[in-house]
A and B are shown apart, each in its own frame.
Chain A
């Protein structure tokens, strides 16, 4: 029978490194995908995920076991992502938020395909995600975190709220605001391209 998160935490604090490996195995996919879907780049995901788990390990003695482990790990992950984005801004790494004409055409193409009900290949889905991610770079960082956790990772609002240390209403407002902004950006983009060809 699988051990609970609390049991694993107790074992880790008692010095059992095997228990920590089990905890990583349980949450590694969540951490990898939050980083990837938030940052929009595959390259740095593994390094950041490693830093996240080392931070989890160091902070375990301060972990409040009455809170869900998933939200706690998601919080550490998103904090690391936010730090990384701030660092990128300080070091003047360009974060693209404007699409080129060619990219706008590609979104129009995917939009038309989606409206026809055609499914995308894996490579197309990846490209489409990268393009939508560029639109997401226009968003406020915490709104983006809330949106990614809810709409991409499928977390409950209660979990999003715990991750962002806000109320459920606050989390809902952030997600809803982001949804509206993205819809607006997309509509503007498609208007510039003419009526969607359905």
Chain B
């Protein structure tokens, strides 16, 4: 009989065990049973079978992911343009607001005021005629 205890931590599945030692050593026998139990039960661990559609579904998702970078780039560019769009919309709104404040009636009144301001009074007309006659503009050519 070998008196050396078996080193179970180094014992790989399928390795030969010193049976003579096992028969005479209760400690190694128990450790061997424990290891066999662990090995058997772990190897007997249930196995999962992937669903039939798994491979095709993931391949399709991967194909979608391949196209994603372009979509992401577009989204990124759009995000960067947001301040520009905002500024554009705000300035357009401001211009439109300013224009709406100058309604057509206001425009007409301005024009009419301007016309009135240039209206010639009777006195001014008489004075102008007098000045023209003094300067000889109104003299009869036949005279």
Mark B residues whose CB is within 8 Å of A: 8-10, 13, 30-31, 33-51, 54-63, 65-66
Residues 121-147 of A at the B interface (beta carbon under 8 Å): 122, 125-126, 128-129, 132
Contact of B9 among A21, A25, A183, A196 (CB under 8 A): A183
Of the listed stretches A77-85, A92-100, A109-117, name the one at the interface; the rest are far from the partner chain.
A109-117
Residues 166-196 of A at the B interface (beta carbon under 8 Å): 176-177, 179-180, 182-183, 186-187, 190, 196
A21-B55, A114-B36, A115-B37 in contact; A49/B50 too (CB < 8 A)? yes
Nearest A residue (CB) for B61: A54
Please name all residues of chain B whose beta carbon is closer than 8 Å to the beta carbon of A32 when the two chains form the complex: 48-50
A21-B59, A24-B58, A57-B65 in contact; A187/B41 too (CB < 8 A)? no
A186-B38, A187-B30, A190-B34 in contact; A28/B43 too (CB < 8 A)? no
Q: Can you list 24 A-B contacts with CB-CB less than 8 angstroms, sorted by A residue number?
A: A17-B59, A22-B55, A24-B54, A24-B58, A29-B49, A32-B49, A32-B50, A33-B48, A36-B48, A42-B48, A46-B51, A49-B54, A110-B41, A111-B33, A114-B40, A120-B41, A125-B45, A125-B46, A126-B45, A128-B41, A151-B43, A180-B9, A186-B34, A187-B30
